[in-house]
Amino acid sequence: MAIVRYTAGKELTPEEDARMRAEVREAAKRSYTYDPDCPLLTEKQLSEFRPVNFNSMEERAKCMEAAGILKPEQAVVVI
């Protein structure tokens, strides 16, 4: 499949749009190809995913601290 690049502000022509939609439909029909470097996740692993969108930087910092990713002294304080 070709690499598709998007330039902001440039709308697709109807022909380009139809071609892209056809490519996506064709890709959806292809079977899964196993990649030994990236095995499928188990149901338990999938259940551990949590959303990463936050309402504020403070909420993000608290979650990062709780996960052990960010130390309190590294937190950014917004005034």
Task: Give a yes or no: residue 6 inside a domain.
Answer: no
Cα(61)–Cα(72) distance, integer angstroms: 8
Token pair for 11: 């709308």
Token pair for 63: 């979650």
Task: Give a yes or no: residue 52 inside a domain.
Answer: yes
Q: What is the pLDDT of residue 74?
A: 63
Task: Give a yes or no: residue 56 inside a domain.
Answer: yes
Quote the distance between the C-alpha of residue 70 and its chain's center. 21
Task: Give a yes or no: residue 1 inside a domain.
Answer: no
Task: Give a yes or no: residue 9 inside a domain.
Answer: no
Task: Give a yes or no: residue 39 inside a domain.
Answer: yes
Task: Give a yes or no: residue 50 inside a domain.
Answer: yes
Task: Give a yes or no: residue 79 inside a domain.
Answer: no
Number of domains the chain is built from: 1
Evaluate whether 62 touches 68 at the Cβ level (below 8 Å): no
pLDDT tens digits, 10-21: 788 899 889 989
Quote the distance between the C-alpha of residue 40 and its chain's center. 16
Q: What is the pLDDT of residue 23?
A: 92
- Does the pLDDT value for residue 6 go beyond 80? no
pLDDT tens digits, 19-66: 989 999 999 999 888 888 888 889 999 998 877 788 888 888 888 888
